[in-house]
């Protein structure tokens, strides 16, 4: 896999560190995500995987090391974060749709403000994206009128409308009722098939197994093990990963 | 369980152990009867012993009431509303500005906002009104202009007070918007200012509509304090008007009518908020 990877990774973490007060959550992470690859990050809660993801667009400010997006060091003080962020779509566990706007408004707002698209163009893009996630008939609903799964798909459409070069998923299905998880995962799977670069923090081992190019297991702020899904998930080497997988697969 | 089993109950019957429900029901019924009896006694004794003719004469003198119209509406109520509306608009502008300064990352800005809020929340509104209305024009040589036939000194004073209260309410509203909302907006590439204007403030105002209306009602009542600013016949608000009319012959009728007019404004206002709140719920 490394042999075929282009010279510039889409995402690269170099010795990334993050502390909250005296609590060091990330203890030097080195990781690369090649363009059009899907990397799934797994690990117990508190292992630092969400923090890693949130450092990728600096929603969380790293305390050490650097993050490179397409070779650009976004931890450099001169780097315009707003420019970087518009190219990185992010999907949150709690959806974070704007409750005061209808679905269409949610998907058009940043297009108009950030990309300066006309209302007409933004709406056209929004309707295309809503169709892509299977929710074109919900354009005029308020988020509160949608199920969790539908809200999350709107959130994905909202991110996609910005034509991002890569997508971050922060436990996108963890807040959903079990029967709604499938629709969201299907949209993510389709995205991966279309060649989107994706960094996915997830508890869905089935998704990781089928969709990921690489699975990364994090434990206590370090990457403990990584590799192709069949290797990491079927033949774990470290006792920690073995124990984690046993716990997860028991359910 | 064994007791119930051995009693050989029919389907839907209640075992002896659970029959205490009847005693509880009786007790609560007796308490209700006693409460009605006490209330009735109070009403009857007031009705028997009060001097109704004198009360009617002092508080509900129809002739005096008629004489108040139309001035009590066209001058007094109108002025009360003008004072309230302008002071409220000024207060919201001041309050929002102070709230944003309080949340600023620049420390001196936070200080300025805190000082303003602490001063005008801590002082009695009456003192502020006298200070702005009497002292400032003389000391600084400022002449307050008139708006819709009403002197603006009172409006400025009330807006300063309302702004200080509203600042804390609006700040709480802004902080009440979940952090995820800001993160979602920023992750889409929106700037800090865009996020504030298009995502945070619209939601913050939905949160603060009930306390904001509460402040509007308080402000409406506080306009009564403006009666201390030597008012001319045409700039009187409801309380000043009613007081002047009432002191002609020491009769309470003008105050009662003024009171009813205040309620005629405040009660629909609080009802309206309830409706707005319900309608807003789906958009939250």
Model confidence pLDDT, tens digit, residues B238-280:
898 888 888 888 888 899 999 999 999 999 988 888 887 777 6
Q: Are residues B149 and B81 in the same domain?
A: yes
Q: Are residues B13 and B105 in the same domain?
A: no
Q: Are residues B129 and B269 in the same domain?
A: yes
Whether the CB-CB separation of A7 and A200 falls below 8 Å is answered with: no
**CA of A194, closest CA in chain B: separation in Å?**
21
What is this structure's pTM? 0.78
The CA-based angle B10-B14-B17, given to 5 degrees, is 125
Per-residue pLDDT of chain A (251 residues; tens, 9 = 90+): 444 545 799 999 999 999 999 999 999 999 999 999 999 999 998 899 999 999 999 999 999 999 999 999 999 999 999 999 999 999 999 999 999 999 999 999 999 999 999 999 999 999 999 999 999 999 999 999 999 999 999 999 999 999 999 999 999 999 999 999 999 999 999 999 999 999 999 999 999 999 999 999 999 999 999 999 999 999 999 999 999 999 887 76
pLDDT of residue B58: 84
Residues B90 and B157: their CA atoms lie apart, in Å, by 10
- C-beta atoms of B284 and A113 within 8 A: no
Structural domain boundaries, residue B45: 2-50
- Take residue A55 and report the two structure tokens written for it: 């450092």
B276: chain A residues, CB-CB within 8 Å: none
Q: Are residues B33 and B83 in the same domain?
A: no
Is some CB atom of chain A closer than 8 A to the CB atom of B122? no
Does B57 fall in a domain? no
Q: Are residues B85 and B182 in the same domain?
A: yes
Domain count, chain B: 2
The SS3 of residue B149 is: coil
Listed residue (B50, B67, B123, B114) closest to B257, CA to CA:
B67
A166-170 and A88-91 strand pairing: parallel
Residues B161 and B163: their CA atoms lie apart, in Å, by 5
Of A59, A89, A100, the CB nearest to B183: A59
Q: Are residues B237 and B107 in the same domain?
A: yes
Is some CB atom of chain B closer than 8 A to the CB atom of A86? yes
B100-108 average pLDDT score: 93
Query: 3-state DSSP: chain A helix, strand, coil percent, rounded to 5?
Result: 40, 25, 35
- Take residue A184 and report the two structure tokens written for it: 């969201």
pLDDT of residue A1: 45
Does B55 fall in a domain? no
Q: Are residues B115 and B178 in the same domain?
A: yes
DSSP character at residue A145: G
């Amino acid at each position: 896999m490394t042999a075929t990877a282009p010279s510039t990774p889409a995402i690269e973490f170099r010795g990334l560190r993050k502390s909250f007060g005296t609590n060091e959550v990330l203890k030097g992470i080195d990781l690369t995500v090649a363009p059009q690859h899907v990397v799934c990050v797994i690990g117990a809660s508190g292992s630092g995987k969400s923090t890693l993801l949130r450092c990728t667009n600096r929603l969380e400010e790293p305390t050490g090391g650097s993050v490179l997006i397409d070779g650009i060091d976004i931890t450099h003080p001169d780097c315009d974060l707003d420019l970087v962020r518009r190219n990185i779509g992010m999907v949150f566990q709690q959806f974070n749709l704007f409750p005061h706007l209808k679905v269409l408004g949610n998907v058009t707002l940043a297009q108009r403000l950030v990309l300066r698209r006309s209302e007409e163009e933004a709406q056209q893009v929004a309707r295309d994206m809503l169709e892509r996630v299977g929710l074109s008939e919900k354009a005029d609903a308020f988020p509160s009128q949608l199920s969790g799964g539908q809200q999350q798909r709107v959130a994905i459409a909202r991110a996609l409308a910005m034509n991002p070069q890569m997508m971050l998923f922060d436990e996108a299905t963890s807040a959903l009722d079990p029967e709604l998880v499938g629709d969201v995962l299907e949209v993510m799977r389709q995205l991966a098939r279309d060649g989107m670069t994706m960094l996915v923090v997830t508890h869905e081992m089935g998704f990781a197994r089928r969709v990921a190019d690489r699975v990364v297991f994090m434990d206590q702020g370090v990457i403990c093990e990584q590799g192709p899904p069949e290797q990491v998930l079927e033949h774990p080497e470290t006792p920690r990963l073995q124990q984690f997988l046993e716990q997860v697969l028991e359910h | 369980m064994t007791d119930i089993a051995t009693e050989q109950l029919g389907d839907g019957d209640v075992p002896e152990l659970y029959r205490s429900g009847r005693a509880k029901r009786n007790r609560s019924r007796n308490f209700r009867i006693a409460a009605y009896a006490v209330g009735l006694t109070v009403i009857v004794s007031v009705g028997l012993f009060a001097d109704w003719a004198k009360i009617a004469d002092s508080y509900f003198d129809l002739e005096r009431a008629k004489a108040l119209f139309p001035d009590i509406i066209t001058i007094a109520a109108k002025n009360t509303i003008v004072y309230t509306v302008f002071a409220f608009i000024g207060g919201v502008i001041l309050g929002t500005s102070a709230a944003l300064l309080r949340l600023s990352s620049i420390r001196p800005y936070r200080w300025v906002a805190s000082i303003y809020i602490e001063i005008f929340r801590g002082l009695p509104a009456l003192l502020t009104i006298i200070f702005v209305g009497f002292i400032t024009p003389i000391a600084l040589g400022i002449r307050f202009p008139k708006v819709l036939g009403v002197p603006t000194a009172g409006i400025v004073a009330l807006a300063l007070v309302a702004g200080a209260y509203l600042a804390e309410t609006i700040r709480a509203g802004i902080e009440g918007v979940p952090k995820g909302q800001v993160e979602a907006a920023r992750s889409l590439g929106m700037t800090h200012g865009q996020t504030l204007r298009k995502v945070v403030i619209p939601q913050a105002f939905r949160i603060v509509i009930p306390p904001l209306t509460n402040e509007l009602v308080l402000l409406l009542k506080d306009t009564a304090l403006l009666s201390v600013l030597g008012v001319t016949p045409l700039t009187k608000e409801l309380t000043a008007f009613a007081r002047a009319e009432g002191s002609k012959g020491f009769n309470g009728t003008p105050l009662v009518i003024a009171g009813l007019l205040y309620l005629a404004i405040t009660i629909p206002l609080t009802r309206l908020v309830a409706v707005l709140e319900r309608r807003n719920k789906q958009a939250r």
